[in-house]
A and B are shown apart, each in its own frame.
Chain A
Amino acid sequence: MYLLILLLPLLGSIFSGFFGRFLGHKGSSIISLACVFLSMLMSFIAFYEVGIMGLNQYITLSPWIEVGILKISWSFLFDSLTVTMLLVITIISSLVHLYSLEYMQEDPHLPRFLSFLEIFTFFMLVLVTADNLVQMFVGWEGVGLASYLLINFWFTRLAANQSAIKALVVNRIGDFGLSLGILTIFYIFQSVDYSIIFSLSPLFNNYYLNFGGIYIYGLTLIGIFLFIGAVGKSAQLGLHTWLPDAMEGPTPVSALIHAATMVTAGVFLLIRFSPLIEFSSTVLNILVIFGSLTAFFAGMSGIFQNDLKRVIAYSTCSQLGYMVFACGISCYNVSIFHLANHAFFKALLFLSAGSVIHALANEQDMRRMGSLIKFLPLTYSLMLIGSLALVGFPFLTGFYSKDFILELTQITLNNNLQDEHGSFACWLGNLSVFFTAFYSFRLIYLTFINSVNITRNNVLKSHEPSLIMLIPLIILGLGSIFFGYLGKDLFIGLGTDFWKSSIMILPTSSYYIEAEWLSVNLKWLPFVLSTLGVMLATGISTLKTHTYLYNNFYRSLCFLVNKKWYWDILYNRFLVYPILNFGYSVSFKNLDRGFIELIGPYGLSKLVPTWAQVFSKLQTGQLSHYLFFIVLGVCLFLMTIFNQVQLLIFYSVLVFFI
């Protein structure tokens, strides 16, 4: 049954991909939907057995690579962390499958789309269920490939091609880091199996690598490499530029890739490697810094985006920052809890946005929407639920994880130990709560409540989606309301033994009990900030403040934020174009076609005739010249034969004399 969870999406992908033309739209829809729903049902059972009953599963299929001490086998590990991810992936994936049946109904390539969605799900499942790093890397790369295929689904569009290439290439930078990490792990631990690495990592607490005379802490090095991998996949600051551009794919793809599965792979990697990075405070500090900067930057960038999907993409990026800095303050279980919750409400937001886009004939610009509350009341209420869950409205899903993360950062700021590396996360995290609330409600107002900006035709044609699209939305809405409350005690309850050995937190960096007795003012702070954000959004949207706000400073600020702080432009100008230029003018024109050709065939073939001409010019026809060469040759010959000092002097005198 555990293997069927993985196998079914693969089968569905093969069937709808290779035989889609025979099965038709309906047949491939039924097959892929059945596969992914069965997989979901079985992952429920797996969650019950492994998570709640506590029966960890190890399944070894067959040996894969056996060279000397390197033994890698195809084997699967189902522990609490894995089954939580399984649950998230399969639920979101099946709902997205169901949703895209109608969303992509008029697309001629629906079987291909379903095949790609399903291969994506399969690779994601391989990623989370692997019990060694190399097999995990298969899933990791497969997910990147599937994201390329999915973003590039409408391959006739130039923008889709560009952003798919961007997504793949930027991810590849992180993948390079991850593969370096795998090599370092194998070098240090002589194994790539999780169980061996994690049980050995406390023993390597004092292990230093001698790298060219510099001593590097081994676990820190591994942690940094793994973090680079996570930066690429989870779109942390630095490699985040692919995520907003990846909105070029169809909306269900955005919901699947950028809400639930692909971007969470990086966070999953960090959580999976908690027994290793927990021992390196440097890596934890890096996680805190990068995570909180990402949360802040993405939250800030989201506030003046005008594309409906880009706003949600930036909020994804921001929430991923939360997850990463939650890992940085050693609260891995809160991080994975937030990941699960976030999957629900972000998929809800993306799919609702898809339903808005669907209703308005593929209009994505929020400035050309408005007052859809009259036309799409159900979508409005679902999107409101999603947004409230996102801003952490009390007793919705986001409240239980996001506010708890912020409380934990408050503990790191206010504790009596000398360990205050989390305070950075505290300030930036709380600020981004404010931004999150602002852009979520700006989205709600611009799309649903403000006065209408749509063309008359589109308004008249706008309609609520049919039941096939609504069912996933409603299920996700229910999930966004209840999942946090239901899962709270199981995942992050005080003293819960759900995670068992799949997550390791050092006792010195565990703050749960302190967080429960935080002062009330600090506990209220995120709620107050998000209320302020909502009020500000409401004020700007409803009170006709535009006339006051549109001064020069405000406009340039808007422009700066809208252009994502010029990250893309700076990257292009200082990184991409110089590298391309280097590739063309230096390595292609000067090295490959220049230098190497010059000392290679081209240069030699030029050189030989030239020198041959020179040598033939030596034969002048003058007898005395010939004689000179004869004497010179005899002298040189004698010099080499009788190489003695007197002779040398003698012949050099002779040569000079001549």
Chain B
Amino acid sequence: MLIFVNSTSTSILLFLISVLGIFLNQKNILIMLMSLEMMFLSISFNLIFTSIYLDDVTGQIFSLLILTVAAAESSIGLAILVIYYRIRNVITVELMHLMKG
């Protein structure tokens, strides 16, 4: 029981830290992408713990899938970032407000 609570708390803590990382960071978009990766990791961490706790393999399959998706997504994201940098010559998050309402 103690293990379950600890592991859940750890994964949620990781998740919240990554959310904070996105929020508090106004400068660098790379950090945002890294926080995003950390979110994925915390979620798959949580899934793995849950699957061990429930003795069910589905969670581990899901976490493998998520790893794949995360890899694909980070590659696409980095590609977008590169294109963006090529156009604007800057990757500061604060300056990305061309789509203002």
Contact surface of A with B, Cβ cutoff 8 Å: 615-624, 627-628, 631, 654, 657-658
Contact = CB atoms under 8 A, between A and B. Distances in A.
A627 B18 CA distance: 12
Interface stretch (B46-54, B64-72, B91-99): B91-99
Contacts of B101: 615-621
Q: Please tell me the size bucket of the interface on B.
A: 10 to 19
A623 B92 CA distance: 11
Contacts of A623: 22, 32, 93, 96
B16 interface: yes
B16 A620 contact: no
B19 A631 contact: yes
Nearest to B100: A621
B97 A627 contact: no
Contacts of A618: 101
B22 A622 contact: no
Interface string B20-44: 1011011000001000000000000
Given A622-B93, A624-B26, A624-B93, A658 B19 contact: yes
B100 A620 contact: yes
Given A624-B22, A624-B23, A657 B97 contact: no
30 contacts: A615-B101, A618-B101, A619-B99, A619-B100, A619-B101, A620-B97, A620-B100, A621-B96, A621-B97, A621-B99, A621-B100, A621-B101, A622-B26, A622-B93, A622-B94, A622-B96, A622-B97, A623-B22, A623-B93, A623-B96, A624-B22, A624-B23, A624-B93, A627-B22, A627-B23, A628-B23, A631-B19, A657-B16, A658-B19, A658-B20
Given A617-B101, A619-B101, 7 more contacts: A616-B101, A619-B99, A619-B100, A621-B100, A623-B22, A627-B23, A658-B23
A21 B98 CA distance: 84
A616 B22 CA distance: 23
A84 B1 CA distance: 109
Contacts of A624: 22-23, 25-26, 93
Contacts of B16: 654, 657
Contacts of A615: 101
A461 B6 CA distance: 124
A290 B10 CA distance: 93
A622 B16 CA distance: 20
B95 to A, nearest CB: 10
Closest A-B pairs by Cβ, 5 of them:
A619-B101, A621-B97, A621-B100, A616-B101, A621-B99
B85 to A, nearest CB: 16
Contacts of B99: 619, 621
Contacts, number: 40
A631 B39 CA distance: 13
Nearest to A624: B23
Most chain A beta-carbon neighbours within 10 Å: one of B16, B32, B101: B101
Nearest to A657: B16
A654 B99 CA distance: 28
B15 to A, nearest CB: 10
Contacts of A619: 99-101
Contacts of A631: 19
Contacts of B100: 619-621
Contacts of A628: 23
B78 to A, nearest CB: 16
A654 B13 CA distance: 11
Nearest to A615: B101
A204 B97 CA distance: 85
Contacts of A621: 96-101
Contacts of B26: 622, 624
A218 to B, nearest CB: 70
Contacts of B20: 658
A626 to B, nearest CB: 9
A615 B101 CA distance: 9
Contacts of A620: 97, 100-101
A147 B32 CA distance: 90
Nearest to A621: B97
B43 to A, nearest CB: 14
Contacts of B96: 621-623
Nearest to A654: B16
Nearest to B26: A624
A624 B21 CA distance: 10
Contacts of B93: 622-624
B72 to A, nearest CB: 21
A408 to B, nearest CB: 90
B42 to A, nearest CB: 15
Contacts of A622: 26, 93-94, 96-97
A657 B17 CA distance: 11
Nearest to A631: B19
B99 to A, nearest CB: 5
A615 B100 CA distance: 12
Interface string B72-100: 00000000000000000000011011111
B23 to A, nearest CB: 5
Contacts of B97: 620-622
A623 B96 CA distance: 8
Contacts of A627: 19, 22-23
Contacts of A617: 101
A631 B20 CA distance: 11
Contacts of A658: 19-20, 23
A621 B96 CA distance: 7
B71 to A, nearest CB: 22
A628 B94 CA distance: 15
B47 to A, nearest CB: 18
Contacts of B94: 622
B89 to A, nearest CB: 18
B84 to A, nearest CB: 12
Contacts of A654: 16
B46 to A, nearest CB: 15
Contacts of B23: 624, 627-628, 658
Most chain B beta-carbon neighbours within 10 Å: one of A620, A621, A623, A624: A623
A624 B20 CA distance: 10
B18 to A, nearest CB: 11
Nearest to B16: A657
B29 to A, nearest CB: 8
A523 B95 CA distance: 111
A617 B100 CA distance: 8
A628 B23 CA distance: 7
A180 B96 CA distance: 75
Nearest to A650: B12
